[in-house]
Amino acid sequence: MSAPSPFAEIFVATHPEAISRAAELDGGAAAAEDNGGLRIPGVSDYEIEQLGTLVGAAVHAAGADYELTMVDVGSDSLLAVPTTMVRALAELLAYESEEGEADAVERVAAAWVDQEDLPFDAQEAYGYVEQLAKLAADVDDSDKQELYVWAGS
Instruction: Please give the chain's pLDDT, 153 residues, in tens.
Output: 445 578 999 999 999 999 999 998 888 877 666 667 899 999 999 999 999 999 999 998 888 889 999 998 878 899 999 999 999 999 998 876 555 556 889 999 999 999 878 899 999 999 999 999 999 999 987 788 999 999 986
Phi-psi sector, 108: left (phi>0), alpha (psi -120 to 50), beta: alpha
The 3-state DSSP class for residue 40 equals: strand
Helices 122-138 and 45-58, interaxial angle, to 10°?
80
Tell me the C-alpha distance between 16 and 84, whole Å: 22
**Assessment of whether the complete model's pTM goes beyond 0.75:** yes
CB-CB contact of 10 with 147 (8 Å): yes
Distances (CA, A) of 63 to 57, 85, 88, 93, 117: 8, 11, 12, 20, 23
The C-alpha R_g of the chain, in whole angstroms, comes to 15
CB-CB contact of 78 with 71 (8 Å): yes
- Rounded to a whole number, what is the distance in angstroms from the first to the last CA of the chain? 14
SS3 content of the chain, % helix, strand, coil (to 5): 45, 20, 35
